A = this chain, B = another copy of it.
């Protein structure tokens, strides 16, 4: 059985002390092993990155960017291989994996503009014959810890920008979906990245804690659940590291009475069930304003869900695939059960789904629940499954209050035709990423990704312009050249530009 190793100093390395099963969720079997790095391996990898840093830091940004240009081409050439790896280990359908990869490549494209993005501000004559400018210098060795649900995209949110800014990068991907990440790192090598600049370490909490406590690691980017995000952020902060940690979500769509309901339903089906709902931007709650809108929504959703096709990752005609593990499958079903017990109405029930020839796969069918209320457990938690819950309210204000009262503030959306409603919503809602008739308002790569409230710990959002600031430190230089003849008198007061 194949063992997935680490990528250290330009080579695949298998430590061999500890290994863990990697499942194929589409049929519930173990298909590979992944090597789990010890503290010692992580520390050696950091040392190698540290050694590669000085030369990489001094490489002109345009040369660093050119490796990204080449990397983009390679990712496109090898897209099928990568998508198959993702599908096999994660279970998402091949077209969805392609979508993920494409979103990742967009971040590589953005990283190609590093020479422009790294420009500092130059001020002539801040005082007489004194100039000042800012430089954005790399941090050194930085790390990323990424989740199972986007093994290509989320790492690509992080390392392309970190690298073009001049940092060396240590990536610890999820041990459940390691193959594509490793493969991608190898393409980076092929694109011309010097050895040691990019590292992939598979590991568990030991690896994470080693990274968090090692003084040579200057920053950590994390995407995962909120409790872990909080732990990562506080531990990193206490260890003097820069950190951005993205956590959980509960994304609501408001369906207004004036919404184009067919359009809304079409959008919601994909946004709620795509990737089995295992996305931090999945649309998991629809808030219908008025019973008319709610009834129409329920009835049309029910109809639309009849054609949903669930199955193995490899069949491109499927709409979505299994969830990641047996345990997670049971957890999602538990949430549906609890909603039922707490009085919600299961309109479409995916709990008993069996997929022919894939009976051991971790499948759950698309599930639609009506008459959910804020007190229900299924509402409070992030389910991370193919479950859309509908809440009925009387007014837009009530809908907005629901969203603002929720622990998370990642994404949200409103369906309406009305300019004023859209503007009021986007202005006031306490959520970081807002869609107007766009159910998955994931910002494009040249904007930045980030939730509010307990969906993100840190000052700066992920990728896009904020990432440039996250992966660099500001240096400000103030310069005056002494002229031949002039001698200034001593200045005892605070120097100012009077």
Contact = CB atoms under 8 A, between A and B. Distances in A.
A493 interface: yes
A262 to B, nearest CB: 5
Interface stretch (A185-193, A367-375, A412-420): A412-420
Contact of A436 (B72, B458, B478): B478
Interface string A248-277: 000000000000101101110111011100
Interface residues of A, number: 130
A16 interface: no
Given A417-B419, A459-B458, A476-B432, A488 B267 contact: yes
B115 A434 contact: no
B494 A437 contact: no
Interface in A432-479: 432-438, 440-444, 446-450, 452, 454, 457-461, 465-466, 469-470, 473-479
Nearest to A273: B492
A444 B128 contact: no
Interface in A126-178: 126-135, 153
B420 A266 contact: no
Interface string A68-106: 010011000000000000000000010110111011001
Nearest to A134: B447
A240 interface: yes
Contacts of A449: 476
A121 B123 contact: no
A376 to B, nearest CB: 25
B466 A474 contact: yes
A234 interface: yes
Q: Which of A153, A304, A435, A474 has the most CB of B within 10 A?
A: A474
B436 A493 contact: no
A476 B492 contact: no
A66 B106 CA distance: 10
Interface stretch (A55-63, A206-214, A349-357): A55-63
A434 B475 CA distance: 7
A495 B279 CA distance: 13
B106 A496 contact: yes
A487 B60 CA distance: 20
Contacts of A314: none
A411 to B, nearest CB: 9
A238 to B, nearest CB: 5
Interface string A39-56: 000000000000000000
Interface string A418-437: 11101100110001111111
19 contacts: A58-B125, A60-B125, A61-B124, A119-B123, A123-B447, A126-B447, A237-B237, A260-B482, A270-B493, A304-B490, A426-B477, A434-B476, A435-B479, A436-B479, A436-B480, A443-B476, A449-B476, A452-B473, A459-B469
Contact of A129 (B65, B263, B423, B474): B423
Contacts of A123: 61, 115, 118-120, 444, 446-447
Contacts of A480: 436-438
Interface of A: 58-63, 65-66, 69, 72-73, 93, 95-96, 98-100, 102-103, 106, 109-110, 112-113, 115-135, 153, 233-234, 237-238, 240, 242, 260, 262-263, 265-267, 269-271, 273-275, 279, 304, 319-320, 416-420, 422-423, 426-427, 431-438, 440-444, 446-450, 452, 454, 457-461, 465-466, 469-470, 473-484, 487-498
A434 B132 CA distance: 10
A256 to B, nearest CB: 12
A478 B442 CA distance: 8
B446 A240 contact: no
B495 A128 contact: no
Given A237-B237, A240-B454, 14 more contacts: A69-B109, A103-B496, A115-B126, A116-B446, A121-B447, A123-B446, A130-B438, A260-B482, A263-B482, A274-B492, A418-B419, A420-B482, A450-B474, A458-B459
B96 A131 contact: no
A191 B438 CA distance: 31
A49 to B, nearest CB: 18
A459 B490 CA distance: 35
B444 A132 contact: yes
Q: Which of A62, A102, A242 has the most CB of B within 10 A?
A: A62
A436 B129 CA distance: 12
Contact of A106 (B62, B118, B271): B62
